[in-house]
Structures are given as C-alpha cells and as structure tokens.
Structure 1
Amino acid sequence: MRTIVKGSLAAGAGVVLLLGGAGTLAVWTDAEDLPGTGSTSGYLDLTDPVCDPWELDGGAAFTTQPIVPGDELSHRCTFTLDAAGEHLAATFETSDPVVTETNALVDDLVVSTAYTVAGVPVDPEAGGVAVQDGDVVTAVVTVSFPLGSDNASNVPTAGLQATLEDITVTATQGHSG
C-alpha cells in the first residue's frame, strides 16, 4: 500500500511541475472577422393636405354665418404618408388653432381631432399605429361651441368674433415591432 501512495504522490508532483512549475501551459486561440453592413435612415413625411371646406353641423358649407351655442364646425383633410423604413409607427396630434382674438367666445370653443390611417380609426390612447409608405391619413378637426358652457347663459359670448387661423397636424415617428 505504501508503494501505491508513494507512486501517486510522485505522479501528482510530476503533474504540478509540468503545469505550474515550468510556468508554461499550451493554449490555442483563434479569431474571425464578422462581416459589417451599411445602413441608411428612413423618414416619415406628411404630404400637403387636401381639405374639404369647413362644414357647419356636419352638412352645410360654413362661410361666415354666425354660430350659436350648440353648433359644431368640422374640417376634413387628407394627407398621404411619404415614408421609408421598416417597423414604422406614428402618433398624430393637432395644435390648438391660432385665434387672433381674446374673448369669452374663444375661451368657450372646444377643439378636437379624430384620425384614421388607411381607413382605420386611430386610438389616441394606443401610443401609435403602424404606418407605411402611401398610407392615407385623414384628420377631421372639430370646433364645438357647447350649449350651456361655463358662461351659463352664453350672454357674455354674444356678438363676439373668433377667427381660426392655422391648425398644425404633426406625425411623430415611433416603432412598431
């Protein structure tokens, strides 16, 4: 038994000398290059809008006739998306219209916008909708003069003028995956 222990110790010492005692250990390494690629960024652009005339209460063409509490003006415009890139999404928003007057009528007007992309309604709470080049975006801007607004009798708004000028529609790129 002593011979086996002595032989094992001698073999172990030999391995230690080979691995650590001489300070060298054979190690192979290899490296390979991975191919690169080029890329170009995409874009998202709304074409100039094509708009229907303003309408009063969803039908009659609005020109300059006086509005009364309860009336609603609407304006429908379409844009075509000029877009490049995969996985594009967009959110849409409308600025408040520029109004040259400051008065009680202006304070009572309520502006809202509904959007569709390729005929599908856009949920403003969804955080974006998938879009692609050539999609038709429709924006329907509505300006309401609510009946029974904050001015309970609406008398403070009688005979006042509000001129709506520019309204800006903005498409902001997101990512759909």
Structure 2
Amino acid sequence: MNKLTKAALATGVATALLVGGGSTLALWNDAVDVGAGGDITTGALTLDATGGSWSDDPDQWVPGDSFTYTTQVSIVAQGDNLASELSINPSSITGTPALVDALATTMTVDAVQNGAMTAVAGQENVFTVTPTDATTGTPVEATITITVDFPSDSVSELVAQGATAELSALQLRLNQVESA
C-alpha cells in the first residue's frame, strides 16, 4: 500500500471514530424561542339532567297511547369553535323489536336560558346547542319533553301484543359536531 492510500485510510478511520464515538467533533446548531404566546387550555362539553317525570304511569300500553317524559337539562358547551347537538339516543329504547319499531319518539325543547337550542333542519329530534357566551362555561338550561307514541296504525293483528319496551334507560346524547 502506498503512503497516500495509508494516509487517506487513517484519516477516514479517525473521522469515523470522532463522529461515531461522540467525542470532540461538534456540529454547529442553535435554537430560538419564537414567542408563540401562552399556553392553551381545553373547553368542556357536558350534559346533566334532573330526574324527570312521566305524564302518567305507563304500564299496559295499547295502540293509540301516548305518554310524555319531562326533564330539565343543563349543558356546558365551552370552547372556541365548539358546535354541539342534543338528540335522543334511539338505541337506549330496547325490548321486543316489533313494539320498539312501532313506537314513535319525539323531543321538544322549551324555556331555554343562557343560549339557544334550535331544531336541525331535516333531522328528527336533533337540536343545535348555542350558548350565549361560549367562553364562560355558563350552562345552557332547558326543559326537554320526550313524547313516546304507540300510534294506532303502527301495528295490526297480533303484532306487539304481550311485548315489552324498556324506557327506564331512555337517554339524551350530546355530541360535538363539525363547526360551520
């Protein structure tokens, strides 16, 4: 091996040892605080309901019956660009499929305070929740009335006789949706 090749090989090995070994070879670098502002905090989306009451004690329903359940809700919808909707959770009504399918459920909203609840066009039982001020966390409060109908024309012959529908788990749901 000639002297030039030996020198090049020795230089390459020495450089590899310095870089790979983490010893004294330093590569320049720098960092700067860009002053991006303060911390961020998250908002909140919560739903609470008081124990409501039925208009009557529904027990042995027959086609043509209709009962209402009324409750008070309190909704915190706090956050920049937060959009949310309140609806009935249809899967919370369980029981004999023929009877559950025959029932018609509707929801109305009254006495809204600290905001607005507006029916969503084209969607049954869905209301947009809009607080007066989305930054304070002041709850939007309202009276919710859920009507459960057993329409007289929803069944015929022996369909849904002796059937059950479980309404004790009837549930409202509050979902964040894409903001417009």
TM-score interval (norm. to shorter): 0.5 to 0.7
Over 3 Å counting, the alpha-carbon distance change for 1:87 and 1:103 in structure 2 is closer
Normalised to the residue count of structure 1, the TM-score between the two structures is 0.61
Over 3 Å counting, the alpha-carbon distance change for 1:160 and 1:171 in structure 2 is closer
SS in 2 for 1:143: strand
Structure 1 unaligned segments of length 5 or more: list them: 1-32, 56-60
Normalised to the residue count of structure 2, the TM-score between the two structures is 0.60
Q: Number of residue pairs matched?
A: 136
SS in 2 for 1:106: helix
Q: How big is the alpha-carbon RMSD for the aligned residues of Structure 1 and Structure 2?
A: 3.1
Residue 75 (structure 2) pairs with residue 81 (structure 1): yes
Contact 1:51 1:75 in 2 (8 A): no
Q: How many Å apart are 1:114 and its aligned residue?
A: 2.7
Over 3 Å counting, the alpha-carbon distance change for 1:157 and 1:176 in structure 2 is closer
Q: 1:62 aligns with which of 52, 57, 61?
A: 57
Contact 2:116 2:130 in 1 (8 A): no
Contact 1:80 1:137 in 2 (8 A): yes
Structure 2 unaligned segments of length 5 or more: list them: 1-32
Q: How many Å apart are 1:176 and its aligned residue?
A: 6.0
CA distance in 2, matches of 1:41, 1:136: 22
Of Structure 1 and Structure 2, which has the larger fraction of its residues in strand?
2
Q: How does 1:1-177 map to 2 (within 5 A)?
A: 35-37=35-37, 38-47=39-48, 49-55=49-55, 61-64=56-59, 66-96=60-90, 97-99=92-94, 101-116=95-110, 117-118=112-113, 120-125=116-121, 128-131=128-131, 132=134, 133-149=138-154, 151-153=155-157, 155-174=158-177
Q: Quick check: which has more Rg, 1 or 2? A: 1
SS in 1 for 2:101: helix
SS in 2 for 1:156: coil
